Amino acid sequence: MKKILVLFGGNSYEHYVSCKSAKSIVENMDKKLFCYELVGIDFDNKWYRFDDDLSYLENGKWKDTHVVPIDNIIEFIQKFDVVFPMIHGYSGEDGKLQGMLELFDIPFVGCHTLASALGMDKEMSKILFEHLGVPQVPYLILEEEKQKEIETRIGFPVIVKPANGGSSIGIVKADNKKQLKKAIKEVKQYDSKIIVEKFVKARELECAVLEKNNRIICSCLGEIKSANEIYDYNAKYVNEKSYTTIPDDLPDKIIKQIKEYAKQIFTRFHCNGYARIDFFYEEESNQIYINEINTIPGFTSISMYPKLMEHEEISYTDLLTILINSAMSK
């Protein structure tokens, strides 16, 4: 039986989403094939073995339970056959953790250092999207001297968001200069590098990509139905009126094109294992825009990635088995 180490937590704003994802993973893991241990990383980047009721992961209070500090991290993780990083955001999804694991030849699930770093930094992602010829909305990397260019080069309304982040944290819409100033101040709480994008009234579509037996599978498309005007953190995790669905009214040509873009991005970013790639579809102009790539998409009970794979007749449990086996074969 293979020993799997599931990592969760981390020092990013997505800490609590990570806890929920880890809980779902261990609940659905095939216990006939794998045994597991859970390790949480707190906001001070200290590592702890967690062995208590999984409900403490759901409410984010795992640190208040029976936890044991890990003194020698490398020595500890080398006891496992595979590490399953489920840490969103800084330090867990941006290549730092992946680089450490690669340095010590420790097999792990998901994208390696380069793809993780590129996917996390939206500025770098956008540069590559442009190089690949994948359409994207007009944008600027916000610098002091460029603030005056926003109105002339992009035009209101705009979306202001951190260049490094996920779970829709820190995303703000601005309809005028006054709101823009306020939005910039708010987003600076999350990242010193800020992206300003043209707001488009579009459908939000997601494609799950999975590497299985050296073959790339692109799922059907999922659609986000946000209860708010933009799919921010509140709409995603708080407002129960938001939901996801698999639409049946998309033109075949649009579905095909998005899947082709998704496969191209997954390949050219040198992704491993899995990723979720998000798009905008502006119906009025029949235009597709790439939004972003997520190298560690959410794995909670309501997350889009496992739901899309279930629609491809790959159950949550089978999906985990595929990802773990793929990590061991690299």
pLDDT for 178-208, tens place per residue?
888 888 888 888 877 889 999 999 999 999 9
Check pLDDT > 60 for residue 238: no
Cα–Cα distance measured from residue 162 to residue 144, given in angstroms and rounded to the nearest whole number: 15
Q: What is the pLDDT of residue 239?
A: 42
Check pLDDT > 60 for residue 228: no
Read off the pLDDT band of 257 (50, 70, 90). Answer: very high
Q: Are 115 and 295 in contact (CB under 8 A)?
A: yes
Residues composing the chain: 330
Cα–Cα distance measured from residue 292 to residue 92, given in angstroms and rounded to the nearest whole number: 17
Cα–Cα distance measured from residue 187 to residue 193, given in angstroms and rounded to the nearest whole number: 9
Higher-confidence position of 319 and 168: 319
Cα–Cα distance measured from residue 330 to residue 324, given in angstroms and rounded to the nearest whole number: 10
Cα–Cα distance measured from residue 208 to residue 202, given in angstroms and rounded to the nearest whole number: 19
Mean pLDDT over residues 84-89, rounded? 92
Condensed to tens digits (0 to 9), the pLDDT of residues 155-173 reads: 899 999 888 765 456 788 8
Half-sphere exposure at residue 18, Cβ-oriented, CA atoms within 13 angstroms: 29
Higher-confidence position of 205 and 301: 205
Q: What is the pLDDT of residue 75?
A: 96
Cα–Cα distance measured from residue 15 to residue 8, given in angstroms and rounded to the nearest whole number: 8
- Residue 185, classified by CB atoms within 10 Å of its CB into exposed (0-12), middle (13-18) or buried (19+), is exposed
Sign of the four-CA dihedral 303, 295, 166, 15? positive
Q: Is 34 helix (H, G, I), strand (E, B) or coil?
A: strand
Check pLDDT > 60 for residue 255: yes
Mean pLDDT over residues 77-95, rounded? 92
Q: Is 88 helix (H, G, I), strand (E, B) or coil?
A: coil
Listed range (70-79, 165-174, 259-268) with the worst mean pLDDT: 165-174
Q: What is the pLDDT of residue 230?
A: 53
Listed range (96-105, 134-143, 160-169, 291-300) with the worst mean pLDDT: 160-169
Q: Is 289 helix (H, G, I), strand (E, B) or coil?
A: strand
Mean pLDDT over residues 3-31, rounded? 93
Q: What is the value of pTM for the model shown?
A: 0.89
End-to-end CA distance of the chain: 19
Listed range (55-59, 267-271, 274-278) with the worst mean pLDDT: 55-59
Sketch out the chain's domains with CATH numbers: 2-108 (3.40.50.20), 119-135+201-329 (3.30.470.20), 139-198 (3.30.1490.20)
Q: What is the pLDDT of residue 59?
A: 85
Q: Are 226 and 235 in contact (CB under 8 A)?
A: yes
Q: For the stretch 257-286, what's the b/e string if a residue is b when 16 or more beta carbons lie within 10 angstroms of its beta carbon?
A: ebbebbbebbeebebbbbbbbbbbbeeeee
Q: What is the pLDDT of residue 229?
A: 52
